[in-house]
Structure 1
Amino acid sequence: MARRRGCWSSMTSRRRARRWRLSRTRCAPPAHGRYSPSRSLARTERSAGEAKRTLRPVRAAAECAKARRGRHVSRRDAEARSFRRGVLAPLDAQHIRVESACIQSQRRTPGTEARVIITVTLNPAIDQTVEVEHFTVGDTNRIVASRFDIGGKGINVARVLKELHYEAVATGFGVGDLGRMIEDQLRDSGIGCDFVYIPGETRTNLTILDRSTHTHTVLGGPGESVSESELAQFLHRLRRRLRRDMWLVLAGSIPPPSDPAIYVQLILAAGAEGALAALDADGPVVRAVLEAGARPTLVKLNEHELSRLGASTLEGEDEIIAAAERIRDYGVPNVVVTRGSGPAIALTTAGDFRVHVPEIAVESAVGAGDAFLAGVLLGLKRGDRWERALALGAAAGSACCLTHGTQLCRETDVWQLQSRVRVERIHPIAASSGTPR
């Protein structure tokens, strides 16, 4: 028998969807009982030219739950999608409600927040690097090359993590127009930012690079002062971001007139949320933090910072290890000491290690310690053992020395250098008390 024009079986899917919408607007099903949104109407063809409506439960309740969590879908798209699945579910406003505050969290997979590394830069800066052939104190030095980069130890850590394709959020204080320029550059490179802005202007650090000796001299500005209300606002915003097993990197100097107590508050806040704190600061700041009772998960220093912590010059590897042991006596589980071109020392919960960095032609060592810390944290977040994480950190720090000024590292250099890093265990030595560990 020939099919009658306009019958259900001869319609295209678009015409079927349109007719269904028109029929539903004329006679909407009740919003309770068997016709509630948790059930839907399914069409089955019983004979040619005739369609009958039957009821069967579908997954509309789950779709409602997704909508309540913020999943956005238009009414037309939802109906067309349901029709393609063979389900014509009556949708109302609560099915497609949009909650903009939840859209971003809906896109994240569970636990994504804990995989983010947050860096704190309380005293950001603009780094100006000038290169001279032979730097002579008390004489006129001709500048061969000069460049400007955004700076601050925490910001450098975030930049290296982004270069290695790991998500980082840079927090701290932004100051003036230069502070907004720093945030714009970070966001353009894909780094999340959450700065509290204070009046004044961002400080400038001057780095003098001597090409003949491959040494650099840093002249650091003091930075703007931070009030109690601005500090309280920053602490409040940071606590809202902290999650369990998340790394919080506290790096760099402290703006005046603040004291190391601000790092103590941040470490305690991280511990209260189950986060892990990594402290990278000068020796006197580290000593004040430890004496105040704060216990970061990781303390990273270079050889000069470690000597200033004890107010004495360290000669030889044994004295460096003994000084790092005194930091562990405060209850710090992991201590890492970088030594420039010499082997780094790492006292960790998995053992004590000596990290031999590869031999390279050094262009500039600015930011190498920050890159080392970023590589170690990245390795630990990936689930690597301490040996492999330290190798990645040494590769990132070495790669940073291959670039001019404060450009930090390139990803290709990091992966090429990682295989050239050698990590070995250190035999236990006698501590300052004379007893072996």
Structure 2
Amino acid sequence: MSAIVTLTLNPAIDQTVLLDALVPGAVHRARAVTAHAGGKGVNVACCLADWGLPVTAAGILGADNAGPFDQVLAAKGIADGFVRIPGETRTNLKLLDQRSGETTDINLPGLAVTGADLDAARAALLDRVEAGTRVVLAGSLPGALPPETYADLTRILKARGARVVLDASGPALAAALAADVLPDAVKPNRHELEEWAGCPLPGLGAVREAASRLRAQGIPVVVVSLGAEGALVLTERGSVHAHPPATPVTSTVGAGDALVAGLVAALEADLDLAGIARRALAFAAGKLTRAGANLPPRDALDAIARSVRVEPLD
């Protein structure tokens, strides 16, 4: 049984289109097109497998186009905990502008998931969970599922002694953060934290104050990803601002998921506050140099971690 399980209820095949420059309203000629089995939990599992940790990827897949997922799980040695239902997993388009380095995401609707489908996925997940298992609940929910889905799963998982890491947004995140049983760690980005706070967070101090409110609610670990500005990491040991090193960018797709994987790897290793910040940022920076949910070798990631500047905020 894996010590880490990721759950992806709304996976996607990420199709990345490489453009010289993205100009709205113009006709574009693509330089290249690549496709990767994705979804936040799948990406997290791929990065953890690259680091060398045993991991299971669970969730819901469309049976009609599950091949890319079968291939990546087999290639990376990730245990398959997915249930498959009739239909096709969605395709998400990612338009990569080579001139600016920015990626424009076009996320298509997901599978028509029923309550019975969720029940099957929950049962498959719980079959792989025991006391101490770290479970990553990640990504959007299919439209038919209620916003309380992650809150309900967190309650069930923690009753089994699992440790829950949540990376969600919008109503699903709000419901999970308002529940009576909270996750052990959350990783909002700045925009998601602003949505939860109900107001803009224009400066680092405002971001830290909002993140501190989450900690005060009873969430042991709060990590706020800030893009090129790095991340804030708050635990019971204090808070730090981790600054990423200068990194050549091949693709930004999945960088936030890599950060979650780095957080999980750091928690599994019981690193101190600075160590958590360095490993999380190293995974994200390493991912930027690779297409798809792939990391450089461990020695390269360790070198990146040593170059992360960690600024205490307490």
Under TM normalisation by the shorter chain, which class is it?
over 0.9
The one-letter code sitting in structure 1 at the alignment partner of 2:295 is: C
Contact 2:258 2:293 in 1 (8 A): no
1:410 pairs with 2:284: no
| Alpha-carbon distance in structure 2 between the residues aligned to 1:313 and 1:129 | 31
Task: Spell out, residue by residue over 1:3-39, the C-alpha distance to the aligned partner (whole angstroms, 9 max, x if none).
Answer: xxxxxxxxxxxxxxxxxxxxxxxxxxxxxxxxxxxxx
Residue in structure 1 matching 2:244, options 346, 357, 360:
357
Displacement of 1:186 after TM fit? 0.7
SS where residue 136 of structure 1 aligns? Answer: coil
Map of 1:211 onto structure 2: 98
SS where residue 187 of structure 2 aligns? Answer: strand
Map of 1:4 onto structure 2: none
Greater RCO (Cα-Cα under 8 Å, separation 6 or more): 2
Contact 2:94 2:103 in 1 (8 A): yes
The one-letter code sitting in structure 2 at the alignment partner of 1:409 is: L
Map of 1:337 onto structure 2: 224
Residue in structure 1 matching 2:175, options 280, 288, 312:
288
SS where residue 419 of structure 1 aligns? Answer: helix
Displacement of 1:407 after TM fit? 4.3
| Alpha-carbon distance in structure 1 between the residues aligned to 2:143 and 2:67 | 21
Map of 2:125 onto structure 1: 238
Q: Percent identity?
A: 35
Contact 2:50 2:294 in 1 (8 A): no
The one-letter code sitting in structure 2 at the alignment partner of 1:279 is: L
Inter-CA distance 284–319: structure 2 relative to 1 (3 Å threshold): farther
Q: Normalized against structure 1, the TM-score is what?
A: 0.69
1:19-38 counterparts in 2 under 5 A? none
Map of 2:156 onto structure 1: 269
1:395-434 counterparts in 2 under 5 A? 395-404=282-291, 406-411=292-297, 412-427=299-314
SS where residue 210 of structure 2 aligns? Answer: helix
Inter-CA distance 205–243: structure 2 relative to 1 (3 Å threshold): same
| Alpha-carbon distance in structure 2 between the residues aligned to 1:231 and 1:407 | 26
| Alpha-carbon distance in structure 2 between the residues aligned to 1:188 and 1:135 | 33
| Alpha-carbon distance in structure 2 between the residues aligned to 1:328 and 1:418 | 25
Contact 1:353 1:425 in 2 (8 A): yes
Gaps in structure 2 of 5+ consecutive residues: none
Gaps in structure 1 of 5+ consecutive residues: 1-112, 428-437
Contact 2:49 2:78 in 1 (8 A): yes
Residue in structure 1 matching 2:136, options 249, 263, 273:
249
Aligned length: 313
The one-letter code sitting in structure 2 at the alignment partner of 1:359 is: A
Map of 1:16 onto structure 2: none
Q: Normalized against structure 2, the TM-score is what?
A: 0.95
Displacement of 1:211 after TM fit? 1.1
| Alpha-carbon distance in structure 1 between the residues aligned to 2:241 and 2:310 | 6
1:145 pairs with 2:36: no
Task: Spell out, residue by residue over 1:295-316, the C-alpha distance to the aligned partner (whole angstroms, 9 max, x if none).
Answer: 0000101122222323433211
| Alpha-carbon distance in structure 2 between the residues aligned to 1:407 and 1:184 | 13
Contact 2:48 2:265 in 1 (8 A): yes
CA RMSD, 1 decimal: 1.6
Task: Spell out, residue by residue over 1:28-78, the C-alpha distance to the aligned partner (whole angstroms, 9 max, x if none).
Answer: xxxxxxxxxxxxxxxxxxxxxxxxxxxxxxxxxxxxxxxxxxxxxxxxxxx
Contact 1:168 1:192 in 2 (8 A): yes
Larger gyration radius, structure 1 or structure 2: 1
| Alpha-carbon distance in structure 1 between the residues aligned to 2:251 and 2:195 | 23
Displacement of 1:181 after TM fit? 3.5
Contact 1:284 1:308 in 2 (8 A): no
Moved more, 274-283 or 236-245: 236-245
Map of 2:145 onto structure 1: 258
SS where residue 319 of structure 1 aligns? Answer: helix
Task: Spell out, residue by residue over 1:367-400, the C-alpha distance to the aligned partner (whole angstroms, 9 max, x if none).
Answer: 1111111112112212322321221110010011
Displacement of 1:188 after TM fit? 3.0
| Alpha-carbon distance in structure 1 between the residues aligned to 2:290 and 2:37 | 15
1:130-141 counterparts in 2 under 5 A? 130-141=17-28
